[in-house]
Each structure stands twice: as structure tokens, then as C-alpha cells.
A and B are shown apart, each in its own frame.
Chain A
Amino acid sequence: VRRVFVANRGEIAVRIIRACEALGIETVLGYSEPDRETLGVQEATRAVCIGPAAARESYLSVPAIVQAALGTDCDALHPGYGFLAERVELRNRCDEYGLTFVGPKAESIEAMGDKLRSRALADDAGVPTVPGSDAVATADAAREAAEQVGYPALIKASAGGGGRGMRPVGSPAQLATAFAAATAEAKEAFGDGRVYLERHVEKARHVEIQVLGDGEGRAIDLGERECSVQRRHQKLLEESPSPVLSDLLREQIARAAVALAQRARYLSAGTVEFVFDERTGEFFFLEMNTRIQVEHPVTEMVTGADLVAEQLRLAAGETLIGRPAHEGHAIECRINAEDPARGFAPHPGRLTRWRPPEGDDIRVDTHCYEGYTVPPYYDSLLAKLIVAGPDRPAVIERTIAALEDFEVEGVPTTIPFHLELMHDEAFRARGVDTRWVDERR
């Protein structure tokens, strides 16, 4: 790998560019017209405009991206997260044109991208899955399936993710409406209206295991991240280790994730997501994300590993690292241009003041700078504040100090939300479940 095309934007583009730079690899960033002023454009070896603001014509255009990569003589492509990262078409086009795709193989992207297929793979690997049904085509079939799965149930989109096409069903009376809504939403969001049912775990914790695989059946885990602080299924804060897992459970979940990665002959970095039922101590496989995650720095802070560098090394055919030791605790706060006081409404605008905190054990991943205008076209993530320390209470105190030092003016941010959370008794005691934020507001 000599020159990497960065097919993404925002903070992850900067993260990839810097990882490449550290390894002596050149970068070409493909940016959309309104992203001309981002940090990534300044830091990449070269930057090319690949299209207009509409992501469909730029960051989501496989032909534009592959052509730009070839036209700039890149030999590899890193998709980041979101956009085309988990679209098998991009991976296939890269293979077709001789570009090394920095990520998993096409089979893995395809299999894990389909909820029903990935669940079957998990079953094969002996990984526990949530009691659930096959795809249901009618409301009647859904009702029958719900009887078997048990209430409360959850209707989910087969092609889904990010909570779209998902509907909770508390009782049979709610089923017909929920089925129709989920099917319509799934069709709209993913072009695939297939849905299935699952038992709904209330008081759920979102626990995920970071894995690395060499594509030949070897895989390691890099411990877990707990991402239960969510608003409408969007993660707001992640930490490692989880405040609720016992050592035994931690080991069991990690072992299940590694078994799945080995079985799938998984290549590169991936994340196996689980729902953990705090009341019963059961854990169930949710899905596997075949990309680098937004929250990967949490793992890097407690293991010392560089996950993006490992992706690049594995893509170049190098050998898998040994399982790193874990030390201390880390918390990541997503600093979004959103107004927590107004239902987390995204809020583009110019950053008239931008002073991220600095210090030992503080890491800020961002593409922003003072004077930067946050465009209205893409997601609202401005920065990730990651704080490490010897244990959870110490990290919470350091995070409070770092959040108080974080000066942003021009747009409202999630900083006040995170500060409030850090002072909340329930969060401080042992974290919260995945519905806590939504129920509280």
C-alpha cells in the first residue's frame, strides 16, 4: 500500500490521513464541494473534488469515488464508516479495478449486512442470538411469530440498521399497525421491505466486542465497549470496560465474538454487537459491523493498539498482532452540533470559537477548527472527546474537567448533555440502559 484514497469526510477522514502519514503512506481525499474547507483537505497529500453537496452524487457515488482513486493513481482505498463503508458494490469495484480495499472481504460485508444471514452465521458459530423469527410477509404471519417469540417483541428490518424499520410491539393489539409501519420504513430506507421479529430485551445494555481478523481464520478480540447511552438508537457515549459485566461474562462475550470472526474468516477490523440483559445476565448477538467504528478510540485508549494502522497492515497482507493487554478505563463523548435542549436538533453554523481541551490522557478526534462552518448536508458529529484514566470514577472526574474546558461558540453542542450525564447518580453508579436517555426526556 503506497497511496490510499480516503473515501469519507469529517473526523474519520482526518484520522485515516494521519494514520497513513505515520506509516509513510500518501493519501488522496475525495471531498464534496461544501467540504473544501475541512481539515482533511488541508492535511491529505492531495485532495480532489468528487461531486456536489448531495452525498448521493459524491460520497455515495461508487463510480465517482473509484474513478477519482484511479485517476490519482491510488493503490488502496479506505472507506471509513458510514457512506459506502458497508456497501459491497464498492468493495467489488475496488477488486475489479485492482484497488486494495482497506476492510473486510465482500462475502463478510454481504453476509453481515443482512440481519437474517448474519444471525444464521452466529448460530453456526455457537453465538447466542435473540429469540426471533424468520422473515414475515404479512401481519398475520407476524402475529403468529410474535406468539412464539413472546411479548414484548421488536419488529426489525432484515436489511436494517440505525433503528430504522424498527418497531416495538407490546401486545397483539399493536401488531398490525407496527408491522405496516416497519415494512414501509424498511422499504423506504433500505429498498428492502423484509422484516422479522425478535424478543425485545428491556433494560438492555449495548455491549460490543472489537475484533481483528486476518482473513484466514485467525482472529483476536480487543475487549468490549459499552454504548448504552443512546438517543433513538444513536450512540452518544461509549466506554470501556463496561461497568456492569463480570469478568466471567466479559470473557464469554469476547469468546463468542472471536468464534464468529474466526468462523467467517473475517479480515480487518470489525465489531460484534450484543444486547446484554442486565436482569437475566443473558447476552445475545445483534449484528456485526464490518467497518471501523466511530467509537474505536475507546479501545485504543485502553489497549494502546492503533486500529486504523492495523487495518492498513492487514490490508497489505501483514500478520495479525497478538491480543493486547487492557489497562485502565476510557470514555468517549460524541460532541455533536445539536441542541440537547431542543430534542437534539442538528444545528449547522460557523464555529466562532473552537478550543478543544488538551492534556495527558485526553484525545480529541476532529475535523473542525475555529472559523469552520459546519455544513447542513451531513451528520452533526464535530468531535470525539476521549478521556482515559486508571478507573471509571477517575475518568468521570477527568471527563467533567475536559468538558468544562471545551470551548465552543457558534453552534449548540452536546457538551451540556454530557456534563449532566457525568453528574447523574445512575450513570455514575453503573451506567444506564439503552432507553434511559429517551425515557428521561
Chain B
Amino acid sequence: MDRMTDPGLTADDVRRILQLVDDSHYGELRLEIGDLRLYVRKEGETATLAPNGAAPAEVRGAGKRGAAEKEAAREETMEADESVPGDDGLVYVTAPMVGMFYRAPGPDQEAFVEPGADVAEDDVVCLIEVMKLFSSITAGTKGRVKEVLAENGAMVEYGQRLLAIEPAEGA
């Protein structure tokens, strides 16, 4: 919780909100205070926080995204990753949700990974955006990126293969 920088909401506030959600019968909470958005989902243990200095104005198709939206992609999110071993000895990182696929944290930034890069289990390899909420997808496996299978800025379906990873020896 040390990532939060907005002075309007302290780590303690968030902890209290999480507790309230946890004790309630609601599965989801969407909180917007000014340009800060908090989205909490109970099942799947996902919590994302996006304090957007420049809140995304509009999200429509891949080609129409403005720079401001990509700005928001820099903010940290957490998401349980999905990685599925294939028959070919490779491990595939698959989309845990339908959304827009991004290889880099921002429009003018370098991709998280390129083919050939070594990755650890917890390394972020891409982002998926669902209605202005960005989830970081981790490799889930220690190894080397063999191929990026989805197109930057395109919509990916649930379960779609995003990256192929050659697992490290003993991984």
C-alpha cells in the first residue's frame, strides 16, 4: 500500500475501506474521489488503484486512445496472472479478462519485455485495460520470452494467448 501518493486517501483509509467491503455482502466497490479511482473486487482477490493525474477522457477502440489515457497505465495495479503450459514445452501467458492489450506502461515508453528477454515469475510483461482500469499481467514463470502473440493496442479475448515463454531449467 506504499504506492499510494494521493494525500486525500491514506493507506489506513484504504485498509478501512477494504475491511468494510470484506465485511459486507458486496462483491465489488467502485470509489471515485476527484480524479482518484479505487476499484475493489472481492472474488479473485483483485484490488487496483489508479490515482490519475490526467484521468482518461474516453476509451473507444484501440486506435482512438489519447495520450492521457496511456498516462494512467503507469499507475500500478495488481492482478493474479494466468499462465498455461502448452504441449510444445512453452508456457503461455493468457488474458485473465477481456480488454485492451498494451505492451508498454505508456505511449512513449519501452515495452515491458521484448522477445529474448529473461523474466522472473513476478515480472510484469504487459497490461490489460478494462474500461480505464489497468491490470498488470505478470510472467507467472521464470524463463525467456519467446514471442509476443497479441498486438499492442488491440482487444484481447478472455483466455487468449498473449506471450510465449520458454521456462528456465527447473522452473
Contacts and interface: CB of A to CB of B under 8 A. Distances in A.
A188 B25 contact: yes
Nearest to A30: B98
- How many A residues are at the interface, by size bracket? 20 to 34
Contacts of A68: 98, 155, 157
Contact of A49 (B60, B100, B158): B158
Contacts of A70: 59-61
Contact of A97 (B59, B62, B130): B59
Contact of A67 (B43, B58, B98): B98
A51 B61 contact: no
Contacts of B97: 51, 57, 64
Contact of B98 (A71, A97, A187): A71
A158 B63 CA distance: 45
A50 interface: yes
B100 A67 contact: yes
B131 interface: yes
Interface residues of B, number: 23
A57 to B, nearest CB: 8
Contacts of A188: 25
Given A64-B98, A67-B98, A191-B25, A48 B155 contact: yes
Given A66-B131, A67-B130, A97 B157 contact: no
Nearest to B131: A63
A33 B131 contact: no
A72 B155 contact: yes
B126 interface: no
A199 to B, nearest CB: 30
Contacts of A172: none
A336 B61 CA distance: 39
Given A49-B98, A70-B59, A63 B133 contact: yes
B27 interface: yes
Nearest to A47: B157
B159 interface: yes
Given A98-B60, A188-B25, A33 B159 contact: yes
A52 interface: yes
B41 to A, nearest CB: 10
B152 to A, nearest CB: 14
B99 interface: yes
A48 to B, nearest CB: 5
A73 interface: yes
Contacts of A52: 158-159
A68 B61 CA distance: 9
Contacts of A72: 155
B133 to A, nearest CB: 7
Interface in A88-139: 93, 97-98
A283 B56 CA distance: 51
Contacts of B130: 63-64, 67
A56 interface: yes
A50 B62 CA distance: 17
Contacts of B160: 49
A71 B100 contact: yes
Contacts of A32: 158
Contact of B159 (A30, A49, A71, A187): A49
Contacts of B158: 32-33, 49-52, 58, 64
B131 to A, nearest CB: 5
A148 B43 CA distance: 44
A277 to B, nearest CB: 36
A73 B157 contact: no
Contacts of A33: 158-159
Contacts of B26: 191
Contacts of A73: 61
A188 B59 CA distance: 35
Contact of B60 (A30, A50, A93, A97): A97
Contact of A50 (B43, B44, B157): B157
A308 to B, nearest CB: 25
A71 B61 contact: yes
Interface in B122-171: 129-131, 133, 155, 157-160
Interface string A396-419: 000000000000000000000000
Interface string A168-197: 000000000000000000011001000000
A33 B59 CA distance: 25
A49 B59 contact: no
Interface string B1-41: 00000000000000000000000011100000000000000
A53 to B, nearest CB: 11
A338 B92 CA distance: 39
Interface string A246-283: 00000000000000000000000000000000000000
Given A63-B131, A71-B155, A50 B98 contact: yes
Interface in A34-76: 48-52, 56-58, 63-64, 66-68, 70-73
Contacts of B62: 71
Given A70-B61, A71-B155, A51 B131 contact: no
Contacts of A50: 98, 157-158
